[in-house]
Structure 1
Amino acid sequence: MLRILLPLSLLVALPAQAQVEEDAEHRADRLRTIELNKRAQSVVDKRDRGNADVRETNRRNQERYERQRDEWRARVAACRAGDYDACN
């Protein structure tokens, strides 16, 4: 009976060892992924900080455009209402 149990115990131990090695590989892969994600996030943060002034300039330009458009529409409405000084 002992002759049968010894090889069986070895067969049970081998998959367990393989599982430990596989887990170590997965853990190393997960840590590499975490590091890559941190690096990618730092690049995105740097890009966003660099683009902050561009976004602010675009926002100011958009506000100026909308203000000028509203003024133009008011002049057109006044011109159509008979205020011919607004037509110039």
Structure 2
Amino acid sequence: MRTLLALAIAILPSVVFAQAEEDAEHRADRARTEQLNRNAAAAVDRRNGANADAVDRYRDAQAAYRRAREEWRRRLAACEEGDDRACGPD
């Protein structure tokens, strides 16, 4: 029993030291991952800023298409109800 206790006491400092080294490695990995995430977020912000005009134009084109489609549906419904003015080209 004493031998087991002495062995445990002898091994304990090396286990604590190994754990401290592993923790330092994990902290370094976490710090590197956080830096990579910050770099990626900055790249996304730059990309989104550069594409802002294209995104705005696309959004405006989508809205214009939706309006034109709704107008076409309105005219189609009126034509089907017998309004001949709605059946012709603009």
Which stretch shows the higher mean deviation, 16-25 or 47-56? 47-56
Aligned residue pairs total 85
CA RMSD for the aligned pairs? 2.5
Q: Report Cα offsets for 1:25-74 as digits up to 9, x if no partner.
A: 11111111111111111112222222322221111111111111222223
CA 1:66–1:10 in 2, change beyond 3 Å: closer, same or farther?
same
Letter in 2 for 1:24: A
Ranges in structure 2 where 5+ consecutive residues have no aligned partner: none
| TM-score normalised to structure 2 length | 0.73
Identity of aligned residues (%): 46
Q: Is 1:17 aligned to 2:17, yes or no? A: yes
Question: What does residue 43 of structure 1 align with?
Answer: 43
- Distance in 2 separating the partners of 1:24 and 1:75: 71
Q: Does 1:31 align with 2:21?
A: no
Q: Tell me: CA distance 1:73–1:8, structure 2 relative to 1, closer, same or farther (3 Å).
A: closer
Q: Counterparts of 2:77 and 2:37 in 1: how far apart (Å)?
A: 55
Unaligned residue ranges in structure 1 (runs of 5+): none
TM-score (norm 1): 0.74
For residue 46 of structure 2, give the secondary structure of its aligned residue in structure 1.
Answer: helix
Q: Distance between the aligned counterparts of 1:19 and 1:82, measured in 2?
A: 84
Cα distance in structure 2, aligned partners of 1:8 and 1:83: 96
One-letter code aligned to 1:47: R
C-alpha displacement at 1:9, in angstroms?
A: 4.2
Worse overlay, 7-16 or 47-56: 7-16
